[in-house]
């Protein structure tokens, strides 16, 4: 799992660590970690150019340059302003053999240390020209702490910024590496531990494929499980116009861990659902969770009726038009930006410009977890806990993908995960399924792939698990 914190949180933790270890020691740790990551990512035969800005971000890179030179690498330095470059760092890099150059042109490997967490978004002058050269020539870029020029706390872009292939960030990721348009410029994110203590600080989290162990016990049936102990999910989705939504929501649900799925809907639709999926029980009865709304009729009845069961619920699509004042059960709302805008009575553009703030507002207002779908899906709990989903591909923007997701998350909810975990695990695996399928893909493909993605998440292959070793 990757975690991200705000600049204020990082600065506060730095103060505490520096009081103990000293600022120079923090920079020494940052530089040593950075040098290691650069050495791993860039072949030893390549010449690096380091773009050095006026602050400590440049300082980190200059000390890292000194390390790399001592390891026998060729490193050139391109200074934004020689008078302002970190003096001790510059002396160390030059003494180790780094050479000064006037411009980065001609290099294929770049370290971006123009600005770090002290920066305002948007580059100007020479720094902007460097960013444009990178955009045009696409050398391999390692960003130090953050790609220079991004909105570090909000992921905003306001003018030119550096596009990186790898960001080596210190202590924790920063929000702008994971959220908003800036996140597209971060590339792969790797974290260097510099000894800051951020435990207990609220964090923005991103689950990954390696996090299955913490959910395995809740998801994988025990040896004595039966269909009722595994959880029963009620699905109320689809309508005469959108019959496909019923099939896709059910297909998503069937890919999940619940032991049984009940479908509730018009007789004709229910018959069609059972024709395609004979395992479905088209009769009301006890359920441990509900999914309501995907492709459903625009009426208050389905949600109100499901809420009477007082079990956790996924509220999707048309059901979002009929929200109660506040939820008494563990609820997960699954809007996209337009739907969230309608829920909050604001413009879609406002939600797109600041998705996190709007998702938080809705979560608080309705006492519900909000899963805001988008290129970087957000999951926000009413108490403010937040996860961002990093998996998936643009091919997932396809009709019906949301119906599959709602059904799959419902199944996770029925099996006992809470709305926050069900939403974030569901979004992660839905995206991983799309990555496996590559693309173009359709929503039914995603549903078919999800079962095996869920299996691998909970029961990852261990070294030595090869086919050939079976007796």
Ligand X SMILES: NC(=O)C1=CN([C@@H]2O[C@H](COP(=O)(O)OP(=O)(O)OC[C@H]3O[C@@H](n4cnc5c(N)ncnc54)[C@H](O)[C@@H]3O)[C@@H](O)[C@H]2O)[C@@H](O)CC1
- Residue ranges that bind K ion, judged by CB under 5 A: 112, 143-144, 148
Burial environment of residue 48 by CB neighbours within 10 A (0 to 12, 13 to 18, 19 or more): buried
Report d(CA 281, CA 298) in Å as an integer. 24
Which span (23-31, 97-105, 221-229, 237-245) binds ligand X, by CB under 6 A?
23-31
Burial environment of residue 28 by CB neighbours within 10 A (0 to 12, 13 to 18, 19 or more): middle
Binder among 4, 27, 142, 363 for ligand X (CB under 6 A): 27
The reply, when asked if residue 374 is annotated as ligand binding, is yes
Which positions ≥6 away from 441 have C-beta within 8 Å? Answer: 395, 396, 398, 434
- Residue closer to ligand X by CB (options 54, 302) is 54
Q: Which of ligand X, K ion, none interacts with 18 (beta carbon under 5 to 8 A by kind)?
A: ligand X
The reply, when asked if residue 470 is annotated as ligand binding, is no
Question: Do the Cβ atoms of 454 and 448 come closer than 8 Å?
Answer: no
- Residue closer to K ion by CB (options 145, 445) is 145
CB of 7 to ligand X, least distance (A): 9
First to last CA, the chain: 35
Binder among 48, 194, 363, 454 for ligand X (CB under 6 A): 194
Quick check: 60 binds ligand X (CB under 6 A)? yes
Which span (53-61, 279-287, 382-390, 422-430) binds ligand X, by CB under 6 A?
53-61
Quick check: 14 binds ligand X (CB under 6 A)? yes
The C-alpha angle with vertex 139 and arms to 134 and 142, in degrees rounded to 5, equals 90
CB of 123 to ligand X, least distance (A): 6
Which span (120-128, 218-226, 309-317, 332-340) binds ligand X, by CB under 6 A?
120-128
The reply, when asked if residue 295 is annotated as ligand binding, is yes
- Residue closer to ligand X by CB (options 16, 346) is 16
Which positions ≥6 away from 255 have C-beta within 8 Å? Answer: 404, 407, 408, 411, 447, 448, 450, 451, 454
CA distances from 133 to 103, 108, 153 (A): 10, 11, 25
Q: Which helix (H) or strand (E) holds 137?
A: helix 125-137
CB of 41 to ligand X, least distance (A): 17
Which x/- pattern over 134-163 shows residues binding ligand X (rule: CB under 6 A)?
----------xx------------------
Quick check: 53 binds ligand X (CB under 6 A)? yes
Question: Do the Cβ atoms of 262 and 282 come closer than 8 Å?
Answer: yes
Report d(CA 208, CA 388) in Å as an integer. 10
Quick check: 117 binds ligand X (CB under 6 A)? yes
Question: Do the Cβ atoms of 239 and 297 come closer than 8 Å?
Answer: yes
Q: Which of ligand X, K ion, none interacts with 112 (beta carbon under 5 to 8 A by kind)?
A: K ion
- Residue closer to ligand X by CB (options 35, 117) is 117
The reply, when asked if residue 56 is annotated as ligand binding, is yes
The reply, when asked if residue 145 is annotated as ligand binding, is yes
The reply, when asked if residue 81 is annotated as ligand binding, is no
Quick check: 181 binds ligand X (CB under 6 A)? no
DSSP string, 19-56: HHH-HHHHHHHHHHHHHHHHHHHS-TTSPEEEEE-SSH
DSSP string, 232-257: EEEEE---STTHHHHHHHHHHHHTSS
Residue nearest to K ion (CB): 148
The reply, when asked if residue 285 is annotated as ligand binding, is no
Question: Do the Cβ atoms of 51 and 114 come closer than 8 Å?
Answer: yes
Sign of the alpha-carbon dihedral angle for 92, 32, 155, 392: positive
The side-by-side arrangement of strands in the sheet containing 109-113 is 99-100, 75-79, 48-52, 109-113, 140-144, 166-170, 188-192
- Residue closer to K ion by CB (options 111, 419) is 111
Report d(CA 102, CA 76) in Å as an integer. 10
Q: Which of K ion, ligand X, none interacts with 330 (beta carbon under 5 to 8 A by kind)?
A: none
- Residue closer to ligand X by CB (options 88, 213) is 88
Binder among 9, 50, 54, 458 for ligand X (CB under 6 A): 54
Quick check: 120 binds ligand X (CB under 6 A)? yes
Quick check: 170 binds ligand X (CB under 6 A)? yes
- Residue closer to ligand X by CB (options 178, 422) is 178
> Binding-site residues for K(+), please?
57, 112, 148
Which residues contribute to the site for ligand X (CB under 6 A)?
14, 18, 23, 26-27, 30, 53-57, 60, 115-120, 122-124, 144-145, 170, 194
Q: Which residues are annotated as a binding site for (6S)-NADPHX?
A: 56-60, 116-122, 145, 245, 295, 336, 403
Residue set of the binding site: 56-60, 112, 116-122, 145, 148, 245, 295, 336, 373-377, 402-403
Binding region for AMP: 373-377, 402
């Amino acid at each position: 799992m990757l975690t991200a914190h705000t600049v204020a949180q990082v600065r506060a933790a730095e103060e505490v660590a520096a009081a103990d270890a000293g600022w120079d020691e923090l920079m020494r740790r940052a530089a040593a970690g950075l040098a290691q990551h650069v050495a791993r990512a860039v072949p030893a035969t390549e010449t690096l150019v380091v773009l050095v800005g006026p602050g400590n971000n440049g300082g980190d890179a200059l000390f890292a340059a000194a390390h790399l030179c001592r390891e026998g690498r060729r490193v050139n330095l391109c200074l934004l302003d020689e008078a302002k470059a970190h003096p001790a760092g510059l002396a160390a890099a030059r003494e180790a053999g780094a050479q000064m150059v006037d411009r980065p042109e001609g290099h294929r490997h770049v370290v971006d240390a123009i600005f770090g967490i002290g920066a305002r978004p948007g580059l100007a002058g020479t720094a902007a020209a460097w960013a444009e050269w990178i955009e045009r020539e696409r050398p391999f870029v390692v960003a130090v702490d953050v790609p220079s020029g991004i909105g570090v706390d909000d992921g905003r872009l306001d003018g030119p910024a550096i596009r990186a292939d790898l960001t080596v960030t210190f202590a924790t990721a920063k929000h702008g590496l994971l959220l908003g348009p800036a996140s597209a410029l971060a590339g792969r994110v790797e974290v260097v531990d510099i000894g800051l203590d951020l435990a207990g600080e609220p964090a923005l989290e991103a689950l990954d494929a390696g996090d299955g162990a913490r959910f395995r016990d809740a998801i994988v049936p025990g040896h004595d499980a039966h269909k009722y102990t595994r959880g029963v999910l009620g699905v109320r989705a689809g309508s005469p116009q959108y019959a496909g939504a019923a099939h896709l929501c059910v297909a998503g649900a069937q890919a999940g861990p619940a032991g049984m799925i009940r479908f509730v809907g018009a007789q004709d639709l229910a018959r069609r659902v059972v024709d395609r999926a004979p395992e479905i029980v088209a009769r009301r009865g006890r359920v441990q969770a509900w999914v309501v709304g995907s492709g459903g009729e625009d009426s208050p009845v389905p949600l109100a009726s499901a809420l009477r069961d007082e079990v956790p619920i996924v509220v999707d699509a048309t059901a979002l038009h009929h929200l109660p004042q506040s939820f008494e059960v563990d609820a997960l709302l699954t809007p996209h930006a337009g739907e969230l805008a309608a829920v909050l009575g604001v413009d879609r553009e406002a939600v797109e410009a600041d998705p996190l703030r709007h998702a938080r507002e809705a979560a608080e207002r309705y006492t519900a977890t909000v899963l805001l779908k988008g290129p970087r899906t957000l999951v926000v709990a009413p108490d403010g806990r937040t996860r961002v989903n990093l998996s998936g591909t643009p091919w997932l923007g396809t009709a019906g993908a949301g119906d599959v997701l709602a059904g799959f998350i419902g199944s996770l909810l029925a099996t006992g995960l809470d709305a926050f975990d069900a939403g974030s695990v569901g979004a992660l695996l839905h995206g991983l399924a799309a990555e496996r399928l590559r693309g173009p893909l359709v929503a039914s493909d995603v549903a078919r792939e999800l079962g095996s993605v869920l299996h691998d998440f909970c029961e990852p292959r261990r070294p030595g698990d090869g086919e050939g070793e079976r007796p």
